[in-house]
Chain A
């Protein structure tokens, strides 16, 4: 478990998950990726509670790819809990979703998401978007030393 976590993907749709991981893999960005399939699992993991009781919470992902429509806790709820905690405040959250609804976009930004990305329908576009995003947050963006 010494391996540093780079990407936390919280996504319930297996096809989308596969597509996303494939896109990251093509750029070798999926080596330190953790995939969770519901909101509650995301919270448990990040806070080191529930099933992840005892996890070293100092190890946190460089970016969280968060779907909005999730079982148990929705992406919005996950985001709200995350931003309410001082420790989690600065973890970049990229909302990755099929929804183009304005209300979703504004709500997500209000809660402090760092980016909002609509999953492209076209496969190639999908690869490009995910790949670019992964490169940006993992390779280009700088983080404070918390």
Chain B
């Protein structure tokens, strides 16, 4: 600080000091005055004035210092707490000074930020802005301001408005002062505004895109009908269809005039379109819709036109055309389908119905000639189902074509050029002759089986479109239904016929059965007593036979129980058992003794059948009774006879026992006398031979011989009798060995005889060994005996298969034979065909043989001729038995 006029002030101060000195008359104490010279006193006074002057100056200085301190405090407040950040930057761009606001704004501590380069706290991207401003300031000396992003200590940017001023001395700029205002909020507002604007612009573009990408052709008309704007589809449609000048987009044309101009071509549709637009424009109508056809040469197209008024005061309207061909096509196809299905149901003749289907289809596909071939029941040949528009000659040629030719691999076959397609090699000529160039064939399938094929022919080249596929698919479906229905109907017809036949047959059977039933009933009524009773036993029905037998009238019987015919013969338990049986649902059978009204007793074989209701309990009983009185009488007679028989059997038993004891006696008692006769005759000869002459001896010997013969007779008789009582223990017998042994034993007894045995192979037999041996003994000994007169006794033993009779054994001899007239006596007991003089024997041997063989289940017989030998046969059952 430099005071510009220090002297003036000092002078003033001198004056003031002198005045104070005068006023106060400050004097030295008297002592001192006395001690001092005058000069000294003047100096002393001068010093006093000077002192006062200094004191005053000091006071002044103190005051100025206080003022300065106040000023400095104000400055501090101003600088440090101002709403603006201040940064002083040195010539070397280092931070010299930074106020609290700036430090706070930037998140800096003042101590560390001093002497840092200013660019350190400016966002790198914005450092150029700062440098430019600084440069300009230095060049022009004018205050510069800019907006840039400073950087906080934590790295986040902060938008500031910076004002750059220079501090200069007389010569040059020494430092840069930077004033910072935080503009973050403002920047944020600005940014959000900017993004909103972008969004708006994007929306606009989006809406335009939408409008352009809509399939609908949209135009905006003013109130006169002039086209103000169109979307891209509108323009494109215009270009492609050249319905008006293709070069422009239609903007500027009057749409009402366009419609009117089109009346010539499009007729009523165009007129009503024009009228509709006019009505909406004039406000007569809020909205206008119209669906109209717009065909090209090979496509049927449909559009929908919509007109709605434009919002706002200026009027006008929006016109939109939408292609609804697909929907229309689908609708029409659906209608056709519906019509076709109705026709399937309603049309009797299936060929007529298919013809109609094809004709209907042909109106929907320009130029199409449709045909259906149906697979024959043989599964091989295709028959013409319908082809109303194809030439008859062609149809005749195709009818009966085999499936392999017409339906390829069960797939759709699209032939776009018959002339060149190899699939048509065989039928090309025929097709071309009738001008057919295109053929689409599709198999008609049902549950994996081919029913037939559907074909569309064209005379002109034709490509296949998605819509065509749709039609084909639908048609095939309808035709399938038609064929299936037809086949089903045929089946139903067949089933109906079958059913009728079966019903007739069944009816006939039922009639027969009915007739039989009537016959049965008649027969039953004729034969049996039939009655029906309820569960209480009350008679509800009785047939004539019942009335006749019981001698009650029907009126007397009905309402009664069967007690009316109870004879009192059976116990209450008997009837209780009967009721228990039938009430449990089971049939009761038994014999009941009844009493008629007049007391006659009769026996009934009775069957009671319970008839059960749905709950399984009996609802009624049918009783069928048959008169068995006669049988009962017969049974009684038989019973009596049986008693008699039993008595007789007992008697027989007794007789048998007597016979047994007789046999016993015979064996015992009859022998004793014989033995005595023999023994005593012997003793006479031995002891008294000398007293007898030869004649006496001979006669005694006769007695002995006869006794001996009687002995044999008794033995045979006993053997024969024993056989009847003896059980047979069968074993397997080697017949050949047995026959041989017996022959050997017997022939040994006749060493004087020449005997020859011819033994064939004999099969074994089942039988009692001892008894069968006895058979062989008796037969072989007979053969030996009756060949006695032959030089050589020839005995032939053989066997043959007797079939069911079993095995047949035979013994043939060349003996004396016998007369077949007496053959019936051969096997009788004591029957002899030769007298004792000729051949000895008891007449029991063959009887014994017969008895043994019969007991074994076989037979014995013989063949012989006098003097030509005899053959004896016996059979034994097969071993298996």
Contacts and interface: CB of A to CB of B under 8 A. Distances in A.
Interface stretch (A1-9, A31-39, A96-104): A96-104
A39 to B, nearest CB: 15
Interface in B695-721: 707-708, 711, 718
Contact of B668 (A15, A22, A99, A124): A99
B725 to A, nearest CB: 10
Contacts of A15: 672-673, 675-676, 679-680
A119 B679 CA distance: 11
B675 A19 contact: yes
A36 B671 CA distance: 21
Given A22-B683, A123-B683, A100 B675 contact: no
Interface residues of B, number: 20
Contact of B671 (A19, A98, A123, A124): A98
A121 B718 contact: no
B669 interface: yes
A13 interface: yes
A126 B708 CA distance: 14
A125 to B, nearest CB: 10
Contacts of B683: 22, 123
Contact of B679 (A19, A97, A98): A19
Contacts of B671: 98, 119, 121
A69 B669 contact: yes
A107 interface: no
Nearest to B710: A121
Name which of B664, B678, B708, B718 has the most chain A CB atoms within 10 A of its CB.
B678
Contact of A16 (B676, B682, B707, B711): B676
Nearest to B719: A100
A122 interface: yes
B667 A100 contact: yes
B719 to A, nearest CB: 9
Name which of B679, B707, B718 has the most chain A CB atoms within 10 A of its CB.
B679
Interface in A81-128: 97-101, 119-124, 126
B674 interface: yes
A98 B680 contact: no
A98 B678 contact: no
B792 to A, nearest CB: 33
Contacts of A124: 682
B668 A98 contact: yes
Interface in B644-663: none
Contacts of A120: 675
A118 to B, nearest CB: 9
A97 B667 CA distance: 10
Nearest to B715: A100
B667 A99 contact: yes
A97 B675 contact: no
Given A99-B667, A100-B667, A121 B678 contact: yes
Contacts of B718: 100
Interface in A59-84: 68-69
Contacts of A19: 675-676, 679
A99 B661 CA distance: 12
A87 B168 CA distance: 185
Contact of A126 (B675, B681, B707): B675
Interface in B90-118: none
Contacts of B681: 123
A20 B379 CA distance: 117
A51 B676 CA distance: 30
Given A16-B676, A19-B679, A121-B674, 5 more contacts: A13-B676, A15-B676, A121-B675, A121-B707, A122-B708
Closest 5 CB pairs of A and B: A15-B676, A123-B682, A98-B671, A123-B679, A98-B668
6 contacts: A15-B675, A16-B672, A16-B675, A68-B668, A99-B664, A121-B675
